[in-house]
C-alpha cells in the first residue's frame, strides 16, 4: 500500500512569512532542521525539514504570537505560562514554531547576535540563521535518532570552515579560533583523528603548530607533526609540548 509522507520544506518555502517578520522588526534566528539544511546546501547536501523553527526571547515570542493572531495565522498551541517556551503555529498550511529556549542553545540574544545572514534566491531578503556551532551544540544536546543526519551535516560544514581558517586567516588567534570552538562544542580536548591529519597537512603558522601539538589525539601523530614546522624555534616549541604530553613516546 502506498504511504503518505508528511510534507517537508526548505528555508525559501517560508520566504513571505520571514519577510513579514523582518518588516515588523522582530529579532529572531532560524534554528532546527531548516537551519541545518541551509548549511547543507552550501556543501551540496539536500536536507529537508517538517517545519520552521524560530528562536527568540520570551517577550518577542509573545509579540509574534499577538501579531500572528491579528494576521489570521493559526495558533495551534500557545506557550504555557509555566511550561514549554514554545508556540506552535501554522502559516499558509505550513507549520512553524517559535521558541525562547532549547536544549544546548545559548540565550536567544547570543544566538541572534552570532547568526549568519542567508540570502534567499530570487528575493532581496536576508534571513538570520543560527551559526553552525550553536546548531551543533543544540543537536548534540537533543541527540535524537532523527538528529543524526543533521549532526553529520553540521560537522562536515564546520570542519571545512576549520580547515579554511587554518590556512586563510591573517593572525594566529583567528586561524585556530574555529577549531577551538569546535572542540568546545564537541566536549573534546583532542581533535578527531581524520581532522587532525587534514590540519597537519595544511598547517603553516606557529599558532597552528602549537595548537596541533596540544590537540593531536595520540602519540602516533607526534613524529610527523614535529617534522612539519620549517622554523627551528617553532619546531622546538612543538617538540617541548609533545614531550610534556607523551613522555613515554619521547623516551
pLDDT of residue 3 exceeding 50, the answer is no
Q: Say what percent of the chain tops pLDDT 70.
A: 95
How does residue 5 score in pLDDT terms, banded at 50, 70 and 90? Answer: low
Q: Do residues 178 and 161 make contact, with C-beta atoms less than 8 angstroms apart?
A: yes
Residue 15 sits in the same domain as residue 134: yes
Indicate whether 5 belongs to any domain.
no
Indicate whether 53 belongs to any domain.
yes
Indicate whether 78 belongs to any domain.
yes
Which residue in the block uniquely carries the three cell numbers 535524537?
Answer: 144
Q: Do residues 115 and 129 make contact, with C-beta atoms less than 8 angstroms apart?
A: yes
Residue 180 sits in the same domain as residue 212: yes
Measured between alpha carbons, how far is residue 248 from residues 191, 220, 228, 243 in Å?
A: 21, 12, 21, 8
pLDDT of residue 251 exceeding 50, the answer is no
The pLDDT value given to residue 81: 52
Environment class of residue 82 by beta-carbon count within 10 Å: exposed (0-12), middle (13-18) or buried (19+)? exposed
CATH of the domain at 106: 3.30.460.40
Residue 122 sits in the same domain as residue 233: no
Q: Which helix (H) or strand (E) holds 58?
A: helix 58-70
How does residue 248 score in pLDDT terms, banded at 50, 70 and 90? Answer: confident
Residue 130 sits in the same domain as residue 168: no
Indicate whether 6 belongs to any domain.
no
Residue 210 sits in the same domain as residue 183: yes
Query: Can you tell me the distance from the alpha carbon of 166 to that of 202, in angstroms, rounded to the nearest whole number?
Result: 7
Q: Do residues 49 and 11 make contact, with C-beta atoms less than 8 angstroms apart?
A: no
* pTM of the model as a whole: 0.92
Indicate whether 239 belongs to any domain.
yes
Q: Could you tell me how many residues make up the chain? A: 251
Q: Do residues 34 and 17 make contact, with C-beta atoms less than 8 angstroms apart?
A: no
pLDDT of residue 1 exceeding 50, the answer is no
pLDDT of residue 96 exceeding 60, the answer is yes
Number of domains in the chain: 2
Residue 94 sits in the same domain as residue 203: no
Tell me what the mean pLDDT of segment 79-94 comes to: 81
Tell me what the mean pLDDT of segment 69-80 comes to: 89
Picking from 114, 142, 170, the residue at the C-terminal end of a domain is 142
Indicate whether 121 belongs to any domain.
yes
CA-based nearest residue to 161, from 153, 59, 137: 153
How does residue 121 score in pLDDT terms, banded at 50, 70 and 90? Answer: confident
The pLDDT value given to residue 46: 87
pLDDT of residue 83 exceeding 80, the answer is no
Boundaries of domain holding 61: 11-142
Mean pLDDT score of the chain, rounded to an integer? 93
The pLDDT value given to residue 249: 64
pLDDT of residue 80 exceeding 80, the answer is no
Residue 203 sits in the same domain as residue 81: no
The pLDDT value given to residue 73: 95
Residue 117 sits in the same domain as residue 19: yes
Residue 40 sits in the same domain as residue 134: yes
Amino acid at each position: 500500500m502506498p504511504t503518505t509522507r508528511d510534507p517537508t520544506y526548505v528555508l525559501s518555502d517560508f520566504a513571505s512569512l520571514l519577510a513579514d517578520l523582518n518588516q515588523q522588526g522582530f529579532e529572531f534566528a532560524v534554528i532546527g532542521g531548516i537551519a541545518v539544511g541551509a548549511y547543507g546546501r552550501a556543501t551540496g547536501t539536500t536536507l529537508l525539514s517538517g517545519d520552521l523553527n524560530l528562536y527568540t526571547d520570551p517577550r518577542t515570542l509573545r509579540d509574534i504570537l499577538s501579531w500572528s493572531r491579528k494576521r489570521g495565522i493559526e495558533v495551534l498551541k500557545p506557550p504555557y505560562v509555566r511550561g514549554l517556551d514554545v508556540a506552535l503555529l501554522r502559516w499558509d498550511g505550513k507549520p512553524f514554531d517559535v521558541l525562547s529556549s532549547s536544549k544546548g542553545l545559548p540565550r536567544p540574544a547570543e544566538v541572534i547576535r552570532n547568526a549568519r545572514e542567508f540570502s534567499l534566491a530570487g528575493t532581496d531578503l536576508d534571513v538570520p540563521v543560527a551559526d553552525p556551532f550553536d546548531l551543533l551544540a543544540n543537536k548534540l544536546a537533543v541527540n535524537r535518532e532523527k538528529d543524526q543526519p543533521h549532526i553529520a551535516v553540521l560537522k562536515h560544514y564546520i570542519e571545512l570552515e576549520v580547515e579554511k581558517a587554518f590556512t586563510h586567516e591573517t593572525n594566529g588567534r583567528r586561524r585556530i579560533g574555529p577549531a577551538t570552538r569546535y572542540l568546545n562544542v564537541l566536549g573534546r580536548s583532542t581533535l578527531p583523528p581524520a581532522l587532525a591529519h587534514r590540519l597537519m597537512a595544511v598547517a603553516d603558522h606557529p599558532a597552528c603548530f602549537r595548537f596541533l601539538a596540544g590537540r593531536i589525539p595520540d602519540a602516533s601523530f607526534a613524529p610527523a607533526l614535529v617534522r612539519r614546522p620549517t622554523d627551528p624555534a617553532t619546531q622546538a616549541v612543538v617538540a617541548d609540548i609533545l614531550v610534556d604530553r607523551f613522555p613515554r613516546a619521547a623516551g
